[in-house]
C-alpha cells in the first residue's frame, strides 16, 4: 500500500488516543462508559494486529509438537480438545500444560495486557 496511507495499527491507535485524550474527558455517565468501551476495543484490535501473527505461529508450532502432525491452528486445537476430552491424550503429556499456559498468556497479552502482566509476575 502507498506510504502515504498509515497502517491499520497506527490508525486504530490514533483513533483511540483522540477518544481517550480529547473526547472522554468531556463525557460522563453512559456516554463516558461507552466511549471507554470503544477505546478498549480499538486498543485490543491494534494489539491483535500487531501480536497475533507471531502468537499464532508459536501456538501452531506447540500444537504440532504435541500432536506430532502439521495443520492449521483451528484444526489442531480441535484435535487437542477432542483427544484431551476423550482421554486419548493425558493432560500430563509433554508440553500440554506449558502450551495451555503460553496460549492463555498470549491471549491475555492481547486482550488485557495489565492483567497478563499481573498473572505472569
pLDDT at res. 2: 62
Which one-letter DSSP state was computed for residue 38?
H
Domain ranges of the chain: 8-120
pLDDT at res. 5: 82
pLDDT tens profile 32-67: 999 999 999 999 999 999 999 999 999 999 999 999
Higher pLDDT, 83 or 113: 83
Full-model pTM: 0.80
For residue 112, what is its C-alpha cell?
488485557
Q: With DSSP H G I counted as helix, E B as strand and the rest as coil, what are the percentages for the chain, rounded to 5?
A: 80, 0, 20
pLDDT tens profile 71-84: 999 999 999 999 99
Contact 24, 42 (CB under 8 A): no
Higher pLDDT, 5 or 2: 5
Amino acid at each position: 500500500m502507498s506510504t502515504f496511507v498509515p497502517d491499520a495499527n497506527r490508525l486504530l491507535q490514533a483513533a483511540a488516543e483522540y477518544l481517550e485524550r480529547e473526547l472522554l474527558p468531556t463525557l460522563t455517565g453512559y456516554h463516558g462508559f461507552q466511549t471507554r468501551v470503544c477505546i478498549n476495543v480499538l486498543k485490543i484490535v491494534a494489539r491483535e494486529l500487531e501480536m497475533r501473527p507471531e502468537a499464532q505461529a508459536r501456538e501452531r508450532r506447540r500444537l504440532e509438537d504435541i500432536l506430532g502432525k502439521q495443520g492449521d491452528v483451528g484444526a489442531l486445537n480441535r484435535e487437542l480438545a477432542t483427544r484431551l476430552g476423550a482421554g486419548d491424550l493425558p493432560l500430563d503429556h509433554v508440553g500440554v500444560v506449558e502450551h495451555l499456559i503460553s496460549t492463555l498468556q498470549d491471549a491475555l497479552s492481547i486482550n488485557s495486557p495489565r492483567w497478563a502482566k499481573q498473572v505472569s509476575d
